[in-house]
Chains A and B, each alone.
Chain A
Amino acid sequence: MTLLPFAVTVWLFLVGLYGVATSRNTIHLVSCLFVAQSSTYVLLLSIGYRKGGTAPIVDKLPSGAPLVDPVVQSLALTDIVVGATVSALILICALQAHKKGGTLDPRRETPMRG
Protein backbone atom coordinates (compact mmCIF):
# COMPACT_ATOMS: atom_id res chain seq x y z
CA MET A 1 0.00 0.00 0.00
CA THR A 2 2.82 2.42 0.79
CA LEU A 3 4.29 1.71 -2.63
CA LEU A 4 1.03 2.24 -4.52
CA PRO A 5 1.37 6.03 -5.20
CA PHE A 6 4.88 5.49 -6.52
CA ALA A 7 3.72 2.59 -8.70
CA VAL A 8 0.97 4.86 -10.08
CA THR A 9 3.62 7.50 -10.81
CA VAL A 10 5.79 5.04 -12.77
CA TRP A 11 2.75 3.60 -14.57
CA LEU A 12 1.41 7.01 -15.64
CA PHE A 13 4.83 8.11 -16.83
CA LEU A 14 5.44 4.96 -18.89
CA VAL A 15 1.92 4.85 -20.35
CA GLY A 16 2.27 8.48 -21.44
CA LEU A 17 5.71 7.77 -22.89
CA TYR A 18 4.36 4.74 -24.77
CA GLY A 19 1.74 6.99 -26.34
CA VAL A 20 4.39 9.54 -27.33
CA ALA A 21 6.61 6.84 -28.86
CA THR A 22 3.89 5.18 -30.93
CA SER A 23 1.66 8.15 -31.73
CA ARG A 24 0.59 8.78 -35.33
CA ASN A 25 -1.16 12.07 -34.58
CA THR A 26 0.40 15.18 -33.05
CA ILE A 27 -2.71 16.11 -31.08
CA HIS A 28 -2.80 12.61 -29.61
CA LEU A 29 0.92 12.99 -28.89
CA VAL A 30 0.34 16.18 -26.87
CA SER A 31 -2.35 14.42 -24.81
CA CYS A 32 0.07 11.56 -24.11
CA LEU A 33 2.76 14.03 -23.10
CA PHE A 34 0.32 15.55 -20.63
CA VAL A 35 -0.45 12.09 -19.20
CA ALA A 36 3.27 11.48 -18.72
CA GLN A 37 3.59 14.86 -17.06
CA SER A 38 0.71 14.27 -14.69
CA SER A 39 2.79 11.49 -13.14
CA THR A 40 4.90 14.28 -11.64
CA TYR A 41 1.83 15.74 -9.92
CA VAL A 42 1.10 12.37 -8.32
CA LEU A 43 4.72 12.04 -7.21
CA LEU A 44 4.95 15.57 -5.77
CA LEU A 45 1.69 15.31 -3.85
CA SER A 46 2.42 11.83 -2.51
CA ILE A 47 5.85 12.94 -1.25
CA GLY A 48 4.22 15.74 0.73
CA TYR A 49 1.37 13.63 2.13
CA ARG A 50 1.21 12.99 5.84
CA LYS A 51 -1.03 10.26 7.22
CA GLY A 52 -4.36 11.79 8.27
CA GLY A 53 -3.24 15.20 7.11
CA THR A 54 -5.61 17.85 5.76
CA ALA A 55 -5.09 20.73 3.34
CA PRO A 56 -2.51 23.27 4.57
CA ILE A 57 -5.09 25.95 5.37
CA VAL A 58 -5.15 26.60 9.10
CA ASP A 59 -8.49 28.38 9.27
CA LYS A 60 -10.43 27.09 12.30
CA LEU A 61 -8.21 24.05 12.68
CA PRO A 62 -7.01 23.05 16.12
CA SER A 63 -3.30 23.74 16.44
CA GLY A 64 -1.26 20.59 16.05
CA ALA A 65 -3.61 18.97 13.54
CA PRO A 66 -1.57 17.13 10.90
CA LEU A 67 -1.21 19.12 7.70
CA VAL A 68 0.28 18.10 4.38
CA ASP A 69 3.33 19.87 2.92
CA PRO A 70 2.39 23.12 1.10
CA VAL A 71 5.76 23.37 -0.66
CA VAL A 72 5.17 20.42 -3.00
CA GLN A 73 1.62 21.62 -3.68
CA SER A 74 3.03 24.94 -4.80
CA LEU A 75 5.51 23.10 -7.02
CA ALA A 76 2.63 21.12 -8.56
CA LEU A 77 0.93 24.45 -9.36
CA THR A 78 4.04 25.61 -11.21
CA ASP A 79 4.16 22.25 -12.96
CA ILE A 80 0.56 22.58 -14.21
CA VAL A 81 1.10 26.11 -15.54
CA VAL A 82 4.27 25.16 -17.41
CA GLY A 83 2.58 22.00 -18.76
CA ALA A 84 -0.37 23.98 -20.10
CA THR A 85 1.83 26.51 -21.88
CA VAL A 86 4.06 23.80 -23.39
CA SER A 87 0.97 21.97 -24.68
CA ALA A 88 -0.38 25.16 -26.24
CA LEU A 89 2.90 25.79 -28.06
CA ILE A 90 3.16 22.20 -29.39
CA LEU A 91 -0.46 22.34 -30.57
CA ILE A 92 0.27 25.51 -32.52
CA CYS A 93 3.32 23.92 -34.13
CA ALA A 94 1.11 20.94 -35.07
CA LEU A 95 -1.48 23.31 -36.54
CA GLN A 96 1.05 25.17 -38.67
CA ALA A 97 2.70 21.89 -39.76
CA HIS A 98 -0.71 20.59 -40.80
CA LYS A 99 -1.26 23.68 -42.88
CA LYS A 100 2.11 23.28 -44.60
CA GLY A 101 2.25 19.51 -45.07
CA GLY A 102 -1.38 18.48 -44.87
CA THR A 103 -0.71 15.77 -42.29
CA LEU A 104 -0.78 15.47 -38.51
CA ASP A 105 1.37 12.32 -38.47
CA PRO A 106 4.69 13.31 -36.88
CA ARG A 107 6.48 10.58 -38.87
CA ARG A 108 5.30 11.76 -42.26
CA GLU A 109 5.73 15.46 -41.79
CA THR A 110 8.14 16.99 -44.24
CA PRO A 111 11.11 18.72 -42.67
CA MET A 112 10.58 22.45 -42.37
CA ARG A 113 12.94 25.05 -43.71
CA GLY A 114 13.17 28.39 -42.04
Chain B
Amino acid sequence: MSGRLRVILFLAAAAAFGWGLLDALAGIPPFGDYRGPYGDVVLQTMGELRHTQQGVAAVTFDYRGFDTLGEEFILFAAVAGALLLMRRQPSEKERGAHDQAPGHPAARIGPACRVSGLIMFPFTLLLGIYVVLHGHLSPGGGFQGGVLLASAFYFVYLSGEFEDLASFVKEHPVELTESAGAAAFALLAAIPLLLGEPCMKNILPFGEKGELLSSGMLPLFNIAVGIEVGAGFLLLVHAFLKQVLLIRKEGKK
Protein backbone atom coordinates (compact mmCIF):
# COMPACT_ATOMS: atom_id res chain seq x y z
CA MET B 1 0.00 0.00 0.00
CA SER B 2 1.40 3.37 -0.96
CA GLY B 3 2.00 5.97 1.71
CA ARG B 4 -0.57 8.39 0.33
CA LEU B 5 -3.35 5.80 0.12
CA ARG B 6 -2.54 4.76 3.68
CA VAL B 7 -2.91 8.36 4.94
CA ILE B 8 -6.16 8.93 3.01
CA LEU B 9 -7.61 5.70 4.36
CA PHE B 10 -6.55 6.61 7.89
CA LEU B 11 -7.96 10.14 7.71
CA ALA B 12 -11.34 8.91 6.45
CA ALA B 13 -11.55 6.28 9.18
CA ALA B 14 -10.28 8.69 11.84
CA ALA B 15 -12.84 11.35 10.90
CA ALA B 16 -15.71 8.88 11.21
CA PHE B 17 -14.37 7.40 14.43
CA GLY B 18 -13.50 10.77 15.97
CA TRP B 19 -16.93 12.19 15.20
CA GLY B 20 -18.65 9.17 16.75
CA LEU B 21 -16.39 9.25 19.84
CA LEU B 22 -16.92 12.97 20.39
CA ASP B 23 -20.66 12.54 19.96
CA ALA B 24 -20.67 9.75 22.55
CA LEU B 25 -18.55 11.74 25.00
CA ALA B 26 -20.84 14.76 24.62
CA GLY B 27 -23.64 12.57 25.96
CA ILE B 28 -22.02 11.81 29.34
CA PRO B 29 -22.38 14.26 32.26
CA PRO B 30 -20.53 17.51 31.38
CA PHE B 31 -17.03 18.25 32.66
CA GLY B 32 -17.03 19.29 36.32
CA ASP B 33 -20.49 17.90 37.00
CA TYR B 34 -19.50 14.66 38.72
CA ARG B 35 -22.46 12.49 39.67
CA GLY B 36 -20.82 9.52 41.35
CA PRO B 37 -21.78 7.40 43.15
CA TYR B 38 -18.61 5.35 43.70
CA GLY B 39 -16.22 8.22 44.37
CA ASP B 40 -18.59 9.73 46.91
CA VAL B 41 -19.09 6.39 48.68
CA VAL B 42 -15.31 5.94 48.95
CA LEU B 43 -14.75 9.48 50.21
CA GLN B 44 -17.49 9.19 52.83
CA THR B 45 -16.50 5.79 54.17
CA MET B 46 -12.70 5.74 53.99
CA GLY B 47 -12.22 7.83 57.12
CA GLU B 48 -14.55 5.79 59.32
CA LEU B 49 -14.00 2.30 57.97
CA ARG B 50 -10.34 2.43 56.92
CA HIS B 51 -8.86 5.29 59.00
CA THR B 52 -7.28 6.53 55.76
CA GLN B 53 -7.09 10.09 54.53
CA GLN B 54 -5.70 9.39 51.05
CA GLY B 55 -8.52 8.43 48.72
CA VAL B 56 -6.44 7.11 45.82
CA ALA B 57 -4.37 4.80 48.05
CA ALA B 58 -7.53 3.58 49.76
CA VAL B 59 -9.06 2.65 46.40
CA THR B 60 -5.88 1.14 44.97
CA PHE B 61 -4.88 -1.04 47.91
CA ASP B 62 -8.13 -1.55 49.77
CA TYR B 63 -11.41 -1.06 47.92
CA ARG B 64 -9.87 -2.26 44.64
CA GLY B 65 -7.02 -4.21 46.25
CA PHE B 66 -7.74 -7.43 44.42
CA ASP B 67 -7.37 -5.64 41.05
CA THR B 68 -4.03 -4.27 42.19
CA LEU B 69 -2.90 -7.81 42.96
CA GLY B 70 -3.52 -8.64 39.30
CA GLU B 71 -1.92 -5.41 38.14
CA GLU B 72 1.14 -6.17 40.18
CA PHE B 73 1.49 -9.54 38.48
CA ILE B 74 1.09 -7.88 35.06
CA LEU B 75 4.16 -5.84 36.01
CA PHE B 76 5.99 -8.89 37.31
CA ALA B 77 5.22 -10.91 34.17
CA ALA B 78 6.25 -8.03 31.92
CA VAL B 79 9.61 -7.61 33.66
CA ALA B 80 10.18 -11.37 33.56
CA GLY B 81 9.27 -11.46 29.86
CA ALA B 82 11.50 -8.49 29.12
CA LEU B 83 14.48 -10.11 30.82
CA LEU B 84 13.79 -13.36 28.98
CA LEU B 85 13.67 -11.63 25.60
CA MET B 86 16.84 -9.66 26.34
CA ARG B 87 19.03 -12.56 27.40
CA ARG B 88 22.19 -13.04 25.40
CA GLN B 89 21.64 -15.12 22.25
CA PRO B 90 24.03 -17.96 21.33
CA SER B 91 25.19 -15.90 18.33
CA GLU B 92 26.19 -12.96 20.50
CA LYS B 93 29.01 -12.22 22.83
CA GLU B 94 29.63 -9.75 25.59
CA ARG B 95 32.52 -7.34 25.62
CA GLY B 96 33.66 -4.32 27.54
CA ALA B 97 31.35 -1.34 27.84
CA HIS B 98 31.85 0.95 24.84
CA ASP B 99 29.72 3.31 22.87
CA GLN B 100 28.15 1.43 19.98
CA ALA B 101 28.52 4.13 17.30
CA PRO B 102 31.75 3.54 15.35
CA GLY B 103 34.41 6.22 15.63
CA HIS B 104 32.75 7.52 18.76
CA PRO B 105 35.10 7.64 21.73
CA ALA B 106 33.54 6.75 25.06
CA ALA B 107 32.02 9.85 26.59
CA ARG B 108 34.06 11.32 29.42
CA ILE B 109 32.21 12.32 32.53
CA GLY B 110 32.99 15.76 33.80
CA PRO B 111 33.59 16.31 37.52
CA ALA B 112 30.43 18.46 37.84
CA CYS B 113 28.29 15.64 36.44
CA ARG B 114 29.96 13.11 38.72
CA VAL B 115 29.51 15.19 41.86
CA SER B 116 25.89 16.11 41.16
CA GLY B 117 25.11 12.46 40.48
CA LEU B 118 26.70 11.44 43.77
CA ILE B 119 24.66 14.06 45.58
CA MET B 120 21.43 13.14 43.82
CA PHE B 121 21.74 9.39 44.45
CA PRO B 122 21.16 9.30 48.24
CA PHE B 123 18.54 12.05 48.18
CA THR B 124 16.52 10.38 45.41
CA LEU B 125 16.74 7.11 47.32
CA LEU B 126 15.53 8.88 50.46
CA LEU B 127 12.70 10.60 48.59
CA GLY B 128 11.65 7.24 47.13
CA ILE B 129 11.54 5.63 50.57
CA TYR B 130 9.58 8.61 51.93
CA VAL B 131 7.02 8.45 49.10
CA VAL B 132 6.55 4.69 49.59
CA LEU B 133 6.14 4.93 53.38
CA HIS B 134 3.75 7.90 53.28
CA GLY B 135 1.63 6.52 50.45
CA HIS B 136 -1.45 6.32 52.69
CA LEU B 137 -1.05 9.89 54.00
CA SER B 138 0.05 12.05 51.09
CA PRO B 139 0.16 11.82 47.30
CA GLY B 140 2.32 8.93 46.17
CA GLY B 141 2.55 5.28 47.11
CA GLY B 142 4.30 2.09 46.15
CA PHE B 143 4.18 2.53 42.38
CA GLN B 144 5.34 6.14 42.36
CA GLY B 145 7.95 5.64 45.09
CA GLY B 146 9.23 2.48 43.41
CA VAL B 147 9.93 4.36 40.19
CA LEU B 148 11.80 6.99 42.25
CA LEU B 149 13.87 4.26 43.93
CA ALA B 150 14.84 2.87 40.53
CA SER B 151 15.68 6.30 39.13
CA ALA B 152 18.13 6.83 42.01
CA PHE B 153 20.24 4.14 40.34
CA TYR B 154 20.10 5.97 37.02
CA PHE B 155 22.22 8.63 38.72
CA VAL B 156 24.80 5.94 39.47
CA TYR B 157 25.00 5.21 35.76
CA LEU B 158 24.94 8.86 34.67
CA SER B 159 27.69 9.91 37.05
CA GLY B 160 29.91 6.87 36.61
CA GLU B 161 30.41 3.86 34.43
CA PHE B 162 28.06 1.11 33.44
CA GLU B 163 30.02 -1.26 35.68
CA ASP B 164 29.01 0.81 38.70
CA LEU B 165 25.35 0.14 37.96
CA ALA B 166 26.07 -3.47 37.01
CA SER B 167 27.79 -4.11 40.32
CA PHE B 168 24.57 -3.18 42.13
CA VAL B 169 22.61 -5.69 40.09
CA LYS B 170 25.26 -8.42 40.29
CA GLU B 171 26.41 -8.20 43.87
CA HIS B 172 23.04 -7.53 45.44
CA PRO B 173 20.33 -10.01 44.53
CA VAL B 174 17.96 -7.57 42.85
CA GLU B 175 16.02 -10.35 41.14
CA LEU B 176 15.31 -11.95 44.50
CA THR B 177 14.23 -8.56 45.87
CA GLU B 178 11.78 -8.10 43.01
CA SER B 179 10.32 -11.56 43.49
CA ALA B 180 10.16 -10.98 47.24
CA GLY B 181 8.15 -7.79 46.70
CA ALA B 182 5.68 -9.59 44.45
CA ALA B 183 5.47 -12.54 46.82
CA ALA B 184 4.99 -10.29 49.85
CA PHE B 185 1.94 -8.68 48.21
CA ALA B 186 0.40 -12.09 47.40
CA LEU B 187 1.17 -13.46 50.89
CA LEU B 188 -0.25 -10.39 52.60
CA ALA B 189 -3.39 -10.86 50.52
CA ALA B 190 -3.54 -14.56 51.40
CA ILE B 191 -2.90 -14.37 55.17
CA PRO B 192 -6.55 -13.57 55.99
CA LEU B 193 -7.56 -16.73 54.08
CA LEU B 194 -5.64 -18.81 56.64
CA LEU B 195 -7.65 -17.18 59.41
CA GLY B 196 -10.89 -18.06 57.66
CA GLU B 197 -11.51 -14.50 56.49
CA PRO B 198 -12.01 -13.18 52.93
CA CYS B 199 -8.92 -12.50 50.82
CA MET B 200 -7.20 -9.16 51.62
CA LYS B 201 -9.43 -8.48 54.62
CA ASN B 202 -7.61 -6.21 57.01
CA ILE B 203 -6.36 -8.06 60.11
CA LEU B 204 -4.22 -5.33 61.67
CA PRO B 205 -5.38 -2.56 64.00
CA PHE B 206 -6.35 0.57 62.06
CA GLY B 207 -4.53 3.05 64.28
CA GLU B 208 -5.01 6.78 64.50
CA LYS B 209 -5.97 8.44 61.22
CA GLY B 210 -3.11 10.55 59.87
CA GLU B 211 -0.39 8.68 61.74
CA LEU B 212 2.40 6.83 59.94
CA LEU B 213 1.23 3.53 61.44
CA SER B 214 -2.41 3.64 60.45
CA SER B 215 -4.81 2.35 57.79
CA GLY B 216 -4.21 -1.30 58.73
CA MET B 217 -2.40 -3.33 56.09
CA LEU B 218 -2.38 -0.53 53.50
CA PRO B 219 1.19 0.68 54.22
CA LEU B 220 2.44 -2.91 54.02
CA PHE B 221 0.94 -3.31 50.56
CA ASN B 222 2.55 -0.01 49.58
CA ILE B 223 5.96 -1.23 50.76
CA ALA B 224 5.61 -4.55 48.92
CA VAL B 225 4.70 -2.77 45.68
CA GLY B 226 7.45 -0.19 46.18
CA ILE B 227 10.09 -2.91 46.53
CA GLU B 228 8.81 -4.77 43.50
CA VAL B 229 8.53 -1.73 41.23
CA GLY B 230 11.91 -0.35 42.28
CA ALA B 231 13.75 -3.64 41.77
CA GLY B 232 11.85 -4.40 38.55
CA PHE B 233 12.67 -1.08 36.91
CA LEU B 234 16.30 -1.36 38.02
CA LEU B 235 16.47 -4.79 36.33
CA LEU B 236 14.86 -3.36 33.18
CA VAL B 237 17.26 -0.43 32.86
CA HIS B 238 20.21 -2.71 33.52
CA ALA B 239 19.09 -5.13 30.82
CA PHE B 240 18.50 -2.34 28.28
CA LEU B 241 21.90 -0.76 28.96
CA LYS B 242 23.54 -4.15 28.72
CA GLN B 243 21.98 -4.63 25.28
CA VAL B 244 23.25 -1.27 24.09
CA LEU B 245 26.69 -1.34 25.69
CA LEU B 246 27.85 -4.92 26.07
CA ILE B 247 26.20 -7.37 23.74
CA ARG B 248 27.45 -7.66 20.16
CA LYS B 249 26.96 -10.07 17.30
CA GLU B 250 29.62 -12.72 17.08
CA GLY B 251 32.26 -11.79 14.54
CA LYS B 252 31.69 -8.04 14.64
CA LYS B 253 34.07 -5.91 16.59
Contact = CB atoms under 8 A, between A and B. Distances in A.
Contact of A3 (B18, B26, B56, B236): B26
Contact of B54 (A3, A57, A78): A57
A50 B139 CA distance: 19
B236 A88 contact: yes
Contact of B14 (A1, A4, A17): A17
Contact of B59 (A57, A74, A82, A99): A74
A86 B40 CA distance: 32
A49 interface: yes
Nearest to A93: B85
Given A48-B39, A59-B53, A78-B71, A6 B34 contact: no
Interface string B28-61: 1011111010111011001100000111101110
Contacts of A35: none
Given A6-B26, A81-B74, A88-B236, A22 B18 contact: no
Contacts of A25: none
B163 to A, nearest CB: 22
B67 interface: yes
B71 A81 contact: yes
Interface in B49-99: 53-56, 58-60, 63-64, 67-68, 71, 74-75, 78-79, 81-82, 85-86
Contacts of B79: 85
Contacts of B192: none
A1 to B, nearest CB: 8
Contacts of B243: 95
Interface of B is mostly: helix
A73 B57 CA distance: 10
A58 B43 contact: yes
Contacts of B139: 55, 57
A13 B42 contact: no
A70 B143 contact: no
Interface in A1-58: 1-7, 9-10, 13-14, 17-18, 21-22, 43, 46-51, 53, 55-58
Contact of B55 (A14, A47, A67): A67
Contact of B10 (A22, A89, A99): A22
A46 B31 CA distance: 6
Instruction: List the 7 closest A-B pairs by CB distance, nearest first.
Output: A69-B39, A56-B55, A70-B55, A85-B78, A51-B32, A6-B25, A2-B30
24 contacts: A4-B31, A6-B26, A13-B21, A14-B14, A17-B10, A22-B3, A47-B34, A49-B32, A51-B32, A56-B55, A57-B56, A67-B39, A67-B55, A69-B36, A69-B38, A70-B55, A72-B39, A73-B55, A73-B56, A74-B56, A74-B64, A81-B71, A91-B240, A92-B85
Interface of A: 1-7, 9-10, 13-14, 17-18, 21-22, 43, 46-51, 53, 55-59, 67-74, 77-78, 80-82, 85-86, 88-89, 91-93, 95-96, 99
Given A3-B25, A6-B25, A74-B64, 16 more contacts: A1-B31, A2-B31, A3-B22, A7-B22, A13-B18, A21-B6, A49-B34, A51-B33, A56-B54, A57-B139, A58-B53, A67-B55, A74-B60, A78-B67, A82-B71, A96-B85
